[in-house]
């Protein structure tokens, strides 16, 4: 899989680098910044065959661009369209599953539901991600923060 865009800075300092890794249904991208928020590297990939998403993400993670950095912070951001905003008083694992099934249909156990709480608005965003993809990313970046946009 060839990147749509692939940029690498001449700067070689990877101390305290931050990785922002975004994953959608048909694409993924990453941005690596240094302590001063200067871009060190960026890549945007579109999956030629979305059913091979895991293989493509594995290839992007294994790319020497990501392997050459030791990251101080990692943020994984999912752009899945299957997300609901739920008032905090209604959030619970069993209720989340029922609401997601009602709106998006039964996932047949292939996805993982993640609830992200917003303190500012006192609600949670509950979203589904491919379970195997999520496991792969957390295996590669165990200390990652997970978000949804």
- Rounded CA gap, 79 and 125, in Å? 12
Q: Which residue from 24, 30, 22, 28 is spatially nearest to 67, judged by alpha carbons? A: 30
Retrieve residue 60's tokens.
């992007």
Retrieve residue 36's tokens.
């001063």
Confidence band for 31, pLDDT divided at 50, 70 and 90: very high
Q: Would the pLDDT of 4 be above 80? A: no
Q: What is the pLDDT of residues 54-93, one digit of tens each?
A: 988 998 888 766 777 778 899 999 998 888 998 988 888 8
- The mean pLDDT value for 86-112 works out to 84
* DSSP assignment string, 17-81: EEEEEEE-SSEEEEEEE-TT--EEEEEEEE-SSGGGHHHHHHHHHHSHHHHT--EEEEEEEE--S
């Amino acid at each position: 899989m060839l990147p749509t865009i692939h940029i690498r800075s001449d700067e070689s300092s990877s101390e305290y680098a931050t990785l922002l890794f975004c994953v959608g249904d048909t694409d993924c991208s990453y941005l690596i910044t240094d302590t001063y928020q200067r871009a060190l590297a960026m890549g945007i990939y579109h999956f030629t065959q979305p059913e091979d998403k895991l293989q493509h993400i594995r290839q992007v993670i294994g790319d020497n661009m990501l392997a050459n950095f030791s990251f101080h912070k990692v943020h994984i951001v999912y752009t899945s369209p299957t997300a609901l905003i739920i008032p905090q008083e209604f959030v619970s694992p069993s209720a989340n599953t029922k609401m997601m099934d009602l709106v998006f249909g039964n996932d047949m156990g292939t996805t993982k539901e993640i609830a992200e709480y917003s303190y500012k608005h006192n609600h949670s965003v509950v979203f589904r991600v491919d379970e195997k993809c999520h496991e792969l990313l957390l295996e590669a970046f165990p200390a990652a923060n997970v978000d949804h946009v």
